[in-house]
Structure 1
Amino acid sequence: MDGLVMAGQLLLGLSILIILHEAGHFFAARAFGIKVEKFYLFFDAWGYKLFSFKHKDVEYGIGWLPLGGYVKIAGMIDESMDTDQLSGPPQPWEFRSKPAWQRLIVMLGGIAVNIVLGIFIFWMLTFKAGETYIPNDQLVNGLVPGKIGKEIGLQAGDRVVAVNGNPIKRFDEVTSSKVLMGNSQLTIERNNTTKTIAVPGNVLEKVADYGIGEFVTPRMHAWVGDVVAGGNAQKAGLKVGDKIIEANNKPLQYLDELKTELAAAKNQTIALKALRGTDTVSLNPAVDSDGQIGFAADVKDLPQQTQMYGLFESLPIGASKAWGAFMDNARGIGKVVTGQVKAQKAFTGPVGIANMFGGQFDVLKFWSLVGLLSMALALMNLLPIPALDGGHATFLIIEMIKGKPLSDKFMEKAQVVGFFILIALMVFVLGNDILKHVIK
């Protein structure tokens, strides 16, 4: 069932984005009097479709191949490769008969809609839910470095007070793109001294390998939250609300200290002591091969604040989040191009995106991911690859500079090249996705 919910959310989210993206092209074309022949969600490859109807000379439908969607604009060389209509003289309602600046607007219409949609979604999410965060100055126990954090020199209990010399108010700034994109500086407080730690340029690749939890997490006491029913912790008598204070005769305060002791006691029994109210109880749970005993930590140590905003206050914050998502994707692509991050670690396909949505429908999470995908789709379509909007826009800008259009033969060949580039990218992303999320 979880898999169906994931797939359903992915399909719904992508369908919304595709329909609105193509609507941007559709309405821009109609505004300039250009005839639109088809408007399809998904591709009706080889003429096969799931559903269609005709209204005012436009065929609307749903294709069977879920790799995007399209509007077929009269007099334009596109992915349909239908060049028969170009053999005759240009007609006033055709794309090719319009000025280059109008054609450019039509090509950028879908990208513009994705950007506006992303801003609108983040605006509404900010207005509805506000911003919940951990105040950095209230995180008195500091942080816990994972494998990546330890490699760059962080230690348990460190407090990050500034990023690139700028004081931080929220702990999530430590795991934001301004840090994870690398080549940044963390100012930390450790044992009443201040130090600077450099974050290398390849940190994002390592986070892709090990997960953000292996960079840094807030430090918490070893409070017991949920206990797995039938698990080793429950069998040993551990209860919700307990606070573990000793493991194998070693006093401890923090969850990371407990995890260290559990890791050293894999496939063994460990002696624990826990506070239960005012009483101290002794427990002897078995530790599994993963260093777990079967409970989730309670995050009561983590102070949280929620700041709400008015409708108009939320707009610049939402726009900033949308732009930040756009630029994070752009910088990520830049790191792939320059070789700082491997492509197979940077790109996520449908399987990975479905996993992000999760097996339970959460309205805020769903729209947050749709907003992120909308900005990612805008960036992807801006890339100057033939067959993408950015490729068409690039050729139109060249035409405007030259003062005459590129030849139909060149455009046909460019479209074919672009088509094969896109197919190769899709195969790579999907194959990489399967390897990352299915074959483990």
Structure 2
Amino acid sequence: MTLLIQIAQFIFIISILVILHELGHFIPAKLFKTKVEKFYLFFDYKFSLFKKKIGDTEYGIGWIPFGGYVKIAGMIDESMDKEQMKLPPKPWEFRSKPAWQRLIIMLGGVTVNFFLAWFIYSAMLMYYGEQYVDNSKLDYGVYVDGVGEKLGIKKGDKIVSIDGKPLEQFGDAAINILLGDKMTVNRNGKNITFPLKDEIKKLVLENQGKRFITEAIPSKIGFVGEEYAANKAGILKGDIITSVNDKKINYWQDLVKEIRSNKDKDLNLLINRNDELVNLTIRVPDSLIIGISSDIAIMKKAVVTKEYTLATSIPRGFEQTIDVLVKQVRQFKLVFNKQVQGYKHMKGPIGIVTIMSPTWDWQFVWRFMAMFSVWLAFLNLLPIPALDGGH
């Protein structure tokens, strides 16, 4: 069922993007009295699911849901009949139109993609608002795994800047690090700057889907479930776990690791309770759930929520669109970087389906559609015939 939902989301997103993108070519072509031979949603290799000719244009639905196209008479592309090109241009052909009209027709799809993304981001801001973790309010700094440590980041570091630019939203940390050249952190009260090496960024890409940097969460107990092992062992809300089996614990993430690696075993805990040290023993059940959670109030302090009106959502939506575009252009350089080898991690349609939400999530759908629309706009500006929005 999960896969079907993911496929449905992918087809829904692609369908809207393709139809609107191709309309960006189709409408100006019609306005300039250029003959449009075909308008297709999805590719119709060998056969189509539906087709109907209205006027000079054949409208249809193909069976390969990875795109679509318009075929404009006289547009020079990979499908052009070379013999046809030897003939004088007809008045209704693309090649007979003035340069400014040809430019508008060619850039129509890109323009629609950009404005669609802008519209979606603005609408989402007005409807959902904006919520993010303020990097400057992360009192306990960041938590990194082995890959993050190889980059030069240590647990508890506070990010000051990446490439000299202060980091406002912590959610941007991972992508900015991946695209950056140097990073400055505050470590034990001192600012330290170090290079972000390409050979380590390669490891980041190889661990796709795994976050190498997260907010550091203190090992303070925020909740104890009544019927669970933690309550039976005597753990109380407000306790701070300082060590597990004589292994020092500073962060919640470390505590979780110890619990997960000691299934059906006893854990000897050293707890700071109101500045007094308490020793407790707890048995980790087969389910690995001992009935505790972190102190959410600590993390809530770093969360910023903003509300937007129509007037304020439009400029902010434009900023988000430009930010996504800039990041995608910068990511493109990783594809050709021999050390990072980003080309090995590019996703095709099947790969994209796997990153869809496992449940139908409208917020995810619209956000992904906006991001993908910007990506399509960028790809269509590249001098690659198959991506030009034509046949």
Task: Compute the TM-score of the two structures, normalised by the length of structure 1.
Answer: 0.75
- Report what 1:321 is aligned to: 320
Give the distance between the partners of 2:235 and 2:39, measured in 1 at CA: 58
User: Which secondary structure state, in structure 1, belongs to the residue aligned with residue 49 of structure 2?
Assistant: strand
Alignment of 1:324-403 (within 5 A): 324-389=323-388
Q: Distance in 2 between matches of 1:138 and 1:37?
A: 58
Matched with 2:142 is 143
Q: Using CA pairs below 8 Å that are at least 6 residues apart, which structure has the higher relative contact order?
A: 2
Two-structure CA RMSD over aligned residues (Å): 3.6
Instruction: Rate the CA distance shift 1:157–1:368 in 2: closer, same or farther, 3 A.
Output: same
Post-superposition CA distance 1:249-268 (Å, at most 9, x none): 556452133145347x4566
Aligned to 2:207: 210
Query: Partners of 1:35 and 1:296 in 2: how far apart?
Result: 67
Q: Aligned pair 1:160/2:156, yes or no? A: no
Per residue, is there more helix in 1 or in 2?
Answer: 1
Task: Work out the CA distance in 2 between the residues paired with 1:380 and 1:340.
Answer: 23
CA pair 297-360 structure 1, distance change in 2 beyond 3 A:
farther
Q: Structure 1 residue 79: deviation in Å?
A: 5.0
Q: CA deviation at 1:11?
A: 0.6
Q: Which residue of 1 aligns with 2:6?
A: 6
Q: Tell whether the 8 Å contact from 2:233 to 2:280 is kept in structure 1 after alignment.
A: no
| Equivalent position SS for 1:140 | coil
Separation in 2, partners of 1:89, 1:239 = 87
SS for the counterpart of 2:385 is coil
Counterpart of 1:221 in structure 2: which amino acid? P
- Segments of 5+ residues of structure 1 without an aligned counterpart are 393-414, 416-440
Per-residue CA deviations over 1:57-89 (Å, capped at 9, x if unaligned) read 322110112231111212234454456765654
Contact 2:138/2:215 (CA < 8 Å) preserved in 1?
Answer: yes
Counterpart secondary structure, 2:39: strand
SS for the counterpart of 2:66 is: strand
Displacement after TM superposition at 1:165 (Å) = 3.5
CA contact (8 A) 1:268 1:287 kept: yes
User: Which amino acid letter does the alignment assign opposite residue 181 of structure 1?
Assistant: L
Q: 1-side partners of 2:327 and 2:350: how far apart? A: 21
Asked if 1 retains the 8 angstrom alpha-carbon contact of 2:162 and 2:180, the reply is no
Distance 2:126 2:142 in 1: 30
Say yes or no: does 1:312 pair with 2:311.
yes
- Native 8 Å contact 2:140 2:156 kept in 1: yes
For the 8 Å contact 1:381–1:389, the answer to whether it is kept is: yes
The answer to whether the 8 Å contact 1:126/1:318 transfers is yes
* Equivalent position of 2:252 in the other structure: 255
Report what 2:69 is aligned to. Answer: 70
Q: Which residue of 1 aligns with 2:45?
A: 45
Q: 1:111 to 1:118 in 2, by over 3 A?
A: same
Counterparts in 2 of 1:387 and 1:163: CA distance versus 1, 3 Å: closer
Residues 259-317 of structure 1: per-residue CA shift (max 9 Å, x gap): 45347x45661315598x999974211579xxx66889547131312012222222222
Q: Does structure 1 residue 193 correspond to structure 2 residue 190? A: yes
Q: 1:250 to 1:342 in 2, by over 3 A?
A: closer
Q: CA deviation at 1:201?
A: 3.5
Q: What is the alpha-carbon distance in structure 2 between the residues aligned to residue 344 and residue 224 of structure 1? A: 44
| d(CA) in 2 for partners of 1:161, 1:343 | 27
Give the 3 Å change call, closer, same or farther, for CA 285–35 of structure 1 in structure 2.
same
- The 8 Å contact of residues 231 and 291 in structure 2, kept in 1 or not, is answered as no
Q: Distance in 1 between the 2:355 and 2:248 partners?
A: 38
Mean alpha-carbon deviation: is it higher for 374-383 or for 215-224?
A: 215-224
Which of 264, 271, 287 is the equivalent residue of 2:267? 271
Counterpart CA distance in 2 for 1:72 and 1:185 is 48
| Gap regions ≥5 residues in structure 2 | none
For the 8 Å contact 2:6–2:357, the answer to whether it is kept is yes
What count of residue pairs does the alignment treat as equivalent?
A: 382
Alignment-derived partner of residue 35 in structure 2: 35
> What one-letter code is carried by the residue in structure 2 that aligns with 1:271?
L
Would the aligned equivalents of 2:48 and 2:61 in 1 still touch at CA under 8 Å?
A: yes
Give the corresponding residue for 1:220. 217
The aligned amino acid for 2:251 is Y
Q: Please say if 1:125 is aligned against 2:124.
A: yes
